[in-house]
Amino acid sequence: MKFSELTTMRVGGSIADAIEATTATEAKEAYERLIRSDEEFVVLGGGSNTVASDEGYSGSALLMRTRGIETRSDDDGAVTLRVQAGEDWDSLVAVAVDNGWSGIEAMSGIPGSVGAAPIQNIGAYGQELASVLVAIDFFDAETLQTRRLERDELGLAYRYSKIKGRELRGLVLAVELRLAESPESQPIAYEQLAGALDAELGDRRPLTEVREAVLQLRASKGMVLSEDPDSVSAGSFFTNPIVSTKFARDFPESAPRFAADPVTLDSGERVETVKLSAAWLIENAGIGRGFSLGHSRAAISSKHTLAITNTGGATGEEIAELARFVQARVENAFGVYLVNEPVLVALEL
């Protein structure tokens, strides 16, 4: 089996051993064997956030294929969902919308598995997982025991968790979410989505309308897995950089800025920050839609500059080469280093 067969970017060489886990027990047993063997391994869900080298991988891949959604209605008009890590994220959103459960509708169309959601603290169009996450079931790599981790223990920030940062090492087995029982969405918090719905920020709309609008917006950017060649990607390749408000003053007024939480430095100094648009930085560094390095089969999406696509037969190194070029151009132009969002296997930027 190859990474190219298991990832949405469709690059990557052969894997020495692919282990499929269809139950939490199988997942724990396989993970424990891998930990004890001290061999190299990766965990794969939907493969939407992984870019691998075409060199043969001597390690193992643990494929999370666990399924199951348990629900509990609470007395305060909310519903609690306990979802197995191998469930498809967008399928979960569809179930929530169909059942009138509000809170994740704006995250429609995000590819990947439920288990990856808290690792990345996924989000889109004004919603983030952190706002609905209650806890996760976590198989700890240190103790080889399952424990429940509450949301606040995960250190969630923009596209970050302590699991992603390797402060917590282990396997996500299940995710617990708390959603509102309502046929209407949460207040719309993203301007582009509000415009698509002919609504004002803070308005609510039927869940089905919000989901459809989000899917259309994502599809227009090649961000929904489909026959569209631009969807052969890992989604957004770079995160939006967070910089100090002082640093951002040097940018032109046309540069988008989004609210971000203040940062406290080791010295105790509190720094006000803003989030910049990685797409704007890329475009204004002279890299447009459809850009490629000429010899390469990797290209910037023809619909959105934040995605790198495999135009057909690209190698992992070609994807990484283009990513490095984008990073260098943006850093030279603006002094901002773009951080990759997908996990890289045997590749470096």
**Residues whose CB falls within 8 Å of the CB of residue 12, separated by 6 or more in sequence, listed in order:** 2, 3, 4, 6, 50, 51, 52, 53, 54, 57, 316, 345
Q: Decide: 233 and 309 in contact? Cβ < 8 Å.
A: yes
Catalytic residue ranges: 159, 236, 341
- Report which residue type is found at 193: L
Q: Decide: 205 and 197 in contact? Cβ < 8 Å.
A: yes
3 state SS of 23: coil
CB atoms within 10 A of CB 313: 10
Instruction: Report which of 175, 153, 9, 28 is spatially closest to residue 87, judged by C-alpha positions.
Output: 175
CB atoms within 10 A of CB 76: 8
Show the tokens assigned to 131: 């706002």
- Which residues is 44 bridged to in the sheet? 63
